[in-house]
Amino acid sequence: MQSEDMRRVPDPCGDSPFMGIYESLSAAYGPRRWWPVTPAGGVEPEYTGGPSTRIQMLEVAVGAVLTQNTSWKNASKAIANLNRAGLLNPEGLTGIDTKSLAGLIRPSGYFNQKAERIKVLAAYLSGNGRPDRDGLLELEGIGPETADSIMLYGYGELHFVVDAYTRRIFGRIGLIGGGEAYEAVQLVFESNIPPEVHVYQEYHALIVEHGKRSCTRSPDCGECVIGALCGRCGL
């Protein structure tokens, strides 16, 4: 099913600048290999290019909650703690009490909230059948970005992920207003880039990299690799 999505399709958006930006970011930063997961028998998540087991898919989902408004570095520490405790699996996460779980994920911040939400999420994902976006959105603490991250990176489904970096970067360029509803921004991207899981995954990861490296709160436009395309800095 996923290999169906990998075939080249004509750019549905003609001369829209979205794929040009993608190519520039890709050339500058290279493959991102997001989302990191823990190899079998390992402790730390590694950039191996995404999950390949059911346990690793669960790990992506848990990581998506842990990294909410939190650096990946801190989320990663929490994941390592769960691995060391042997709890990063359906039985482990649904079985542990909330207090103990909170203690283990402490480095990720908001640990009381996140512990509660991870248990509910693990229970949902442990059920029969494939998770879906709407099902995830009904869970406490799973909003649109988290749901889309889980579906795209965990389960290889075609949902473009919109985050604060996406709004900041493309708002500055002038391709979006910045204050639109989540789904409105998402629709802009999904109607301007080819419907391929790999492209969605890579594009979002490149946006994050760019947001961290140069399009920060106070941007370093001198180092910007897409400055020529940017309404703020390039012209």
Partner DNA sequence: GCCCAGGCTTAAA
Partner DNA sequence: TTTAAGCATGGG
Residues that bind DNA (CB under 7 A): 34-35, 67-74, 77, 106-107, 109-114, 140-147, 149, 153, 161, 163-165, 204-205, 208, 211-212, 216-217
CA Rg, the chain, in Å?
A: 18
User: In the complex, what is the shortest distance from the CB of residue 15 to DNA, in angstroms, rounded to a whole number?
Assistant: 28
User: In the complex, what is the shortest distance from the CB of residue 198 to DNA, in angstroms, rounded to a whole number?
Assistant: 15
Environment class of 16 (CB within 10 Å of its CB; exposed 0-12, middle 13-18, buried 19+): middle
Q: Which is nearer to DNA, 113 or 126 (CB)?
A: 113
Q: Which is nearer to DNA, 77 or 232 (CB)?
A: 77
Q: Which is nearer to DNA, 168 or 192 (CB)?
A: 168
End-to-end CA, the chain: 43
User: In the complex, what is the shortest distance from the CB of residue 36 to DNA, in angstroms, rounded to a whole number?
Assistant: 8
User: In the complex, what is the shortest distance from the CB of residue 146 to DNA, in angstroms, rounded to a whole number?
Assistant: 3
What does the alpha-carbon distance between residue 94 and residue 152 come to, in Å, rounded to a whole number? Answer: 23
Q: Which is nearer to DNA, 8 or 99 (CB)?
A: 99
| Residue whose tokens read 């990861």 | 205
Q: Which is nearer to DNA, 87 or 102 (CB)?
A: 102
Within the chain, residue ranges assigned H as helices are: 2-5, 18-29, 54-66, 72-84, 90-95, 98-104, 111-126, 133-137, 144-149, 164-173, 182-190, 197-213
Q: Please check whether residue 53 is in contact with residue 151, taking contact to mean a CB–CB distance below 8 angstroms.
A: no
User: In the complex, what is the shortest distance from the CB of residue 175 to DNA, in angstroms, rounded to a whole number?
Assistant: 19
